[in-house]
């Protein structure tokens, strides 16, 4: 067919149109990788180094400054800073971002990071409390809400979740994580990453997550923060690395290198960890930030003679961003010139940081987190408070309830709230509470008052301070208790006793609180102990003497409301401990998934593994927590007694609510690999389901185990399953389970 006259006239226009289209089109479909490369190709060496540098707004770690240090503006304009931490506010971050976009040559947006650990302005329960909910969907929602609030205030990136396994409650940072177990820890890690990052990291209310502290930080010797860590590669991989891997698989954008060494190698110079495991094995393509001056600390660690060598070791190991050590700012140009750090290495680190800035959508709209109207509307809303309350209600663990003292019937009894934490509005905020405001906090006393109304007579006495030794107010507290029908004794730690650099050598209730409890106990009044704390405490005396105990950790701004809901039965407690409670500090480290040893404890044999002065058993085991309902387990069934590696094993159990209250129960599945090429733990959590049962209801709960669940690092350090016999345990906590066995065939 011949072309008509009109086609010939239109032809040049069509070609021109197609060329334009092609350019526009190719622009819009350029992948993030292509865009990263094109930015990188235009950058000078100084600008590249600038991207690897992070400075704090304040002078101290965790500071809550709103302004950068003097001189920062000039450095931003010169492209010498890529990131800030500890600067907040839609307006302030916008001013600084404007300098980067309008005054710096490459117009690369800054990324603002902050420790949003359990809330920004609306304080949620501390992470260890949230882990007690055993409810990943709830924890994901909490992280989502925190991201919505923080992002409205200019924050792009949180240094959370902390996914360090902690088996030693002396370590103050146990409060920031999800406890002692890699399976539960992995579920929480993934939930939090997904909550912070949402389904679209480029949305204006999602923030980048940072898995920390990579890695092994929770294994500090003696539970002393920052201390030496030394364990086998097998334990490291089977236990400590698991939640990190889960977080990376969930899409975490960044990781933070930890302060500690493992077996002589500090994390900030550990190439095996930061490159081989993280990038080569796990295919992580985001970036790694140092912890605060952790590059500088390579000097006192004794692996670098000066800051220059520290910078060389860190960058070559794969540590992309330097938080506050100034090693890269001061020495990287020199190191490049001397050939000690290659340009390829620098480019790769810059590429990783730019990639995350692109994924956050900052190149498309650097001011998307800087809307002051949105900031005002988003902070401390009713919806935020409700989400915090729901999370708090589900984080409470009922440890004891003798004679069903709880729930307390409303209006029937005269209540005395006693104890130094009874009316505290600061401590429920917990450590790392960011912009948390004590004025917004509902104390236990206030929560009870709100619940019972103005006509109820509620007495209150502190009795003593949290940490002090003075007993002069005991008498008044006893007198007050004597006037009541029931005592709610609110004891525990202050908010500053756990968290970073807050290790303790004892796990007792601080000060004279236990003595106060003993005096109140002498009144003969029924006592409900409400404990607030950032770690398991050795509350052995309380367990032996008071009727009911609620573990409430630090529950955030709605602490008192949530505690009152549980005390008076509007909420049936459903939390389970994510960490073992020892009876005595001398038992730690104490964790349920320990090895059997060659001489497991046998009361009839003296030469077995036990303490000659006290018991081996924990005060409360991992996974433990009571309910006002009564759950009965029966009919444990396995789909087969012999399974092949490709055949999943179905395990089912019947759970009946035989009590008088509707309630939630966390049904837990554990296994034990009986014989392996290396020793295996006596129990390992492999699944859990949180179910709701109305009174009288029975549910069949099913788990599926696959070969993947049976794998571990064997004698040759291969991650495999080994044929043989396995035990299966299903129950209400790690110590009370129904049991059966199956064989994994070759
Ligand atoms: C030190 C802490 O170890 C880390 O968790 C935190 O994110 C940084 N400081 C920044 O505040």
Residue 392 tokens, joined? 């708090």
Q: Is 292 in the pocket of ligand 1 (CB under 6 A)?
A: yes
Residue 304 lies in a domain: no
Tell whether the model's pLDDT for residue 658 goes beyond 70. yes
291, 320, 371, 565: the catalytic one is 291
Domain final residue pick, 587, 612, 647: 587
Ligand 1 midpoint to CA 741 (Å):
45
Q: What does the pLDDT read at residue 29?
A: 67
> Measuring CA to CA, which residue among 223, 224, 217, 225 is closest to residue 270?
217
Report the interhelical angle of 136-151 vs 382-395 (nearest 10°).
Answer: 150
Domain final residue pick, 535, 556, 587: 587
Q: What does the pLDDT read at residue 28?
A: 57
Q: What is the mean pLDDT of residues 312-335?
A: 98
3-class DSSP string for 285-321: CCEEECCCCCCCCHHHHCCCCCHHHHHHHHHHHCCCE
Domain containing 647 equals: 631-744
- Measured CA distances, 392 to 4, 128, 387, 629, 726 (Å): 76, 11, 9, 19, 37
Q: What does the pLDDT read at residue 58?
A: 62
Q: What does the pLDDT read at residue 69?
A: 72
pLDDT digits (tens, 9 = 90+) for 468-501: 999 999 999 999 999 999 999 999 999 999 999 9
Q: What does the pLDDT read at residue 104?
A: 98
Residue 25 lies in a domain: no
pLDDT digits (tens, 9 = 90+) for 195-247: 999 999 999 999 999 999 999 999 999 999 999 999 999 999 999 999 999 99
Q: What does the pLDDT read at residue 412?
A: 73
Q: Do residues 697 and 556 share a domain?
A: no
pLDDT digits (tens, 9 = 90+) for 498-511: 999 999 999 999 99
Decide: 211 and 161 in contact? Cβ < 8 Å. Answer: yes
Residue 574 tokens, joined? 């459903």
Ligand 1 midpoint to CA 213 (Å):
9
Q: Is 212 in the pocket of ligand 1 (CB under 6 A)?
A: yes
Give residues with Cβ within 8 angstroms of 477, minimum separation 6: 418, 461, 462, 463, 464, 516, 519, 520
Tell whether the model's pLDDT for residue 679 goes beyond 60. yes
Q: What does the pLDDT read at residue 67?
A: 67
d(CA 257, CA 299): 16
Domain final residue pick, 559, 587, 615: 587
Residue 299 lies in a domain: no
Q: Do residues 580 and 643 share a domain?
A: no
Q: What is the mean pLDDT of residues 627-633?
A: 98
Centroid of chain to Cα 593? 20
Tell whether the model's pLDDT for residue 27 goes beyond 60. no
Number of helices (H), then strands (E), belonging to the chain: the values are: 22, 26
Decide: 387 and 143 in contact? Cβ < 8 Å. Answer: no
Q: What is the mean pLDDT of residues 430-441?
A: 96
Domain count, the chain: 2
Q: Do residues 552 and 408 share a domain?
A: yes
pLDDT digits (tens, 9 = 90+) for 166-177: 999 999 999 999
Q: Do residues 418 and 546 share a domain?
A: yes
Q: Do residues 429 and 560 share a domain?
A: yes
Q: Do residues 571 and 646 share a domain?
A: no
d(CA 16, CA 4): 19
Decide: pTM greater than 0.85: yes
Centroid of chain to Cα 384? 19
Mutate to test the pocket of ligand 1, among 57, 62, 161, 166 (most ligand atoms within 8 A of CB): 62
Q: Do residues 424 and 524 share a domain?
A: yes
Residue 739 lies in a domain: yes
pLDDT digits (tens, 9 = 90+) for 389-402: 999 999 999 999 99
Residue 471 lies in a domain: yes
Q: Do residues 420 and 544 share a domain?
A: yes
Q: Is 502 in the pocket of ligand 1 (CB under 6 A)?
A: no
Residue 121 lies in a domain: no
**Bridge pairing between strands 548-551 and 527-532:** parallel
Residue 635 lies in a domain: yes
Domain with residue 665: its CATH number is 2.60.40.10
Q: What does the pLDDT read at residue 121?
A: 97
Mutate to test the pocket of ligand 1, among 176, 210, 256, 296 (most ligand atoms within 8 A of CB): 256
**Residue at token pair 């930015």:** 39
Helix (H) or strand (E) holding 664: strand 663-673
Q: What is the mean pLDDT of residues 604-627?
A: 96
Q: What is the mean pLDDT of residues 362-388?
A: 97
Residue 34 tokens, joined? 């292509």
Question: What percent of the chain lies above the pLDDT cut of 90?
Answer: 93
Radius of gyration of the chain from Cα atoms?
Answer: 28
Q: What does the pLDDT read at residue 413?
A: 81
Counting atoms of ligand 1 from 1, which one is nearest the CA of 212? 5
d(CA 482, CA 725): 59
Q: Is 500 in the pocket of ligand 1 (CB under 6 A)?
A: yes
Decide: 517 and 542 in contact? Cβ < 8 Å. Answer: yes
Domain with residue 409: its CATH number is 3.40.50.1700
**Residue at token pair 């309380």:** 542
Tell whether the model's pLDDT for residue 24 goes beyond 50. no
Q: Do residues 575 and 687 share a domain?
A: no
| 437 is a catalytic site residue | no
pLDDT digits (tens, 9 = 90+) for 65-76: 556 777 889 999
Q: What does the pLDDT read at residue 490?
A: 99
Question: What percent of the chain lies above the pLDDT cut of 70?
Answer: 95
pLDDT digits (tens, 9 = 90+) for 134-154: 999 999 999 999 999 999 999
pLDDT digits (tens, 9 = 90+) for 570-609: 999 999 999 999 999 999 999 999 999 999 999 999 999 9
Q: Do residues 413 and 471 share a domain?
A: yes
Tell whether the model's pLDDT for residue 569 goes beyond 70. yes
Tell whether the model's pLDDT for residue 566 goes beyond 60. yes
The mean pLDDT of the chain is 95
Q: Do residues 430 and 527 share a domain?
A: yes
Q: Do residues 552 and 638 share a domain?
A: no
The 10 Å CB-count burial string (b at 16+, else e) for 228-254 is: bbeeeeeebbbbbbbbbbbbbebbbbb
Residue 109 lies in a domain: no
| 273 beta partners | none
């Amino acid at each position: 067919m011949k072309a008509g006259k009109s086609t010939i006239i239109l032809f040049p226009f069509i070609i021109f149109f197609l060329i334009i289209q092609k350019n526009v089109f190719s622009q819009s479909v350029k992948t993030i990788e292509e865009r990263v490369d094109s930015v990188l190709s235009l950058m000078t060496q100084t600008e590249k180094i600038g991207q690897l540098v992070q400075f704090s707004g304040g002078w101290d770690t965790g500071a809550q400054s709103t302004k950068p240090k003097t001189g920062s503006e000039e450095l931003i304009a010169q492209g010498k800073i890529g990131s800030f931490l500890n600067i907040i506010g839609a307006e302030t971050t916008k001013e600084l971002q404007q300098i980067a976009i309008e005054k710096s040559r490459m117009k690369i947006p800054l990324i603002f990071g902050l420790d949003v650990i359990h809330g920004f302005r609306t304080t949620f329960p501390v992470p260890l409390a949230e882990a007690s909910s055993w409810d990943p969907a709830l924890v994901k929602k909490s992280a989502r809400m925190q991201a919505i609030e923080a992002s409205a205030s200019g924050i792009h990136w949180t240094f959370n979740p902390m996914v360090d396994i902690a088996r030693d409650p002396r370590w103050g940072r146990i409060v920031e994580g999800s406890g002692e177990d890699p399976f539960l820890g992995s579920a929480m890690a993934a939930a939090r990453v997904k909550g912070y990052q949402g389904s679209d990291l480029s949305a204006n209310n999602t923030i980048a997550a940072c898995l920390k502290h990579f890695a092994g930080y929770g294994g500090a010797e003696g539970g002393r923060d920052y201390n030496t860590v030394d364990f086998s590669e097998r334990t490291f991989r089977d236990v400590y690395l698991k939640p990190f891997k889960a977080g990376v698989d969930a899409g975490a954008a960044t990781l933070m290198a930890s302060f500690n060494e493992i077996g002589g190698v500090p994390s900030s110079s550990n190439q095996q960890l930061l490159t081989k495991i993280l990038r080569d094995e796990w295919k992580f393509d985001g970036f790694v930030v140092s912890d605060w001056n952790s590059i500088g600390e390579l000097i006192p660690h004794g692996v670098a003679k000066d800051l220059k060598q520290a910078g060389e070791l860190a960058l070559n190991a794969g540590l992309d961003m330097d938080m506050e050590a100034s090693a890269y700012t001061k020495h990287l140009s020199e190191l490049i010139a001397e050939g000690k750090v290659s340009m390829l290495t620098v480019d790769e680190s810059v590429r990783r940081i730019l990639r995350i800035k692109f994924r956050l959508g900052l190149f498309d709209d650097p001011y998307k987190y800087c809307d002051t109207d949105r900031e005002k509307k988003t902070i401390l809303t009713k919806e935020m408070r409700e989400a915090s309350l729901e999370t708090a209600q589900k984080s409470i663990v009922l440890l004891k309830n003798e004679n069903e003292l709880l729930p307390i019937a409303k209006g029937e009894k005269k209540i005395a709230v006693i104890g130094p934490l009874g009316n505290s509005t600061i401590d429920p905020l917990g450590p790392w509470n960011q912009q948390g405001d004590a004025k917004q906090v509902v104390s236990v006393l206030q929560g009870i008052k709100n619940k019972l109304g103005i006509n109820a007579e509620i007495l209150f006495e502190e009795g003593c301070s949290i940490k002090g030794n003075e007993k002069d107010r005991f008498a008044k507290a006893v007198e007050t208790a004597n006037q009541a029908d029931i005592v709610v004794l609110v004891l525990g730690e202050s908010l500053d006793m756990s968290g970073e650099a807050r290790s303790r050598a004892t796990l007792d209730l601080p000060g004279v609180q236990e003595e106060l409890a003993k005096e109140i106990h002498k009144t003969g009044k029924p006592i409900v102990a409400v404990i607030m704390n950032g770690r398991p405490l050795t509350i052995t005396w309380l367990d032996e003497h008071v009727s009911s105990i609620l573990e409430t950790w630090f529950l955030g701004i709605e602490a008192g409301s949530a505690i009152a809901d549980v005390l008076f039965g509007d909420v049936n407690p459903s939390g389970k401990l994510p960490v073992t409670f020892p009876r005595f500090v001398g038992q730690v480290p104490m964790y349920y998934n320990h090895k059997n040893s060659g001489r497991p404890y046998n009361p009839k044999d003296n030469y077995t593994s036990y303490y000659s002065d006290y018991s081996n058993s924990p005060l409360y085991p991992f996974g433990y927590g009571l309910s006002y309902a009564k759950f009965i387990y029966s009919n444990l069934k396995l789909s087969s007694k012999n399974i092949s590696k490709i055949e999943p094993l179905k395990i089912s159990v019947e759970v009946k609510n035989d009590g008088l209250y509707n309630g939630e129960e966390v049904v837990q599945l554990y296994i034990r690999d009986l014989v392996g090429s290396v020793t295996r733990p006596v129990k390992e959590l492999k699944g859990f389901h949180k179910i709701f049962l109305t009174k009288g209801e029975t549910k069949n709960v099913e788990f599926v185990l696959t070969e993947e669940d049976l794998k571990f690092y064997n004698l040759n350090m291969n991650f495999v399953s080994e044929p043989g016999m396995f035990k299966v345990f299903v129950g209400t906590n790690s110590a009370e389970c129904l049991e059966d066995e199956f064989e994994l065939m070759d």
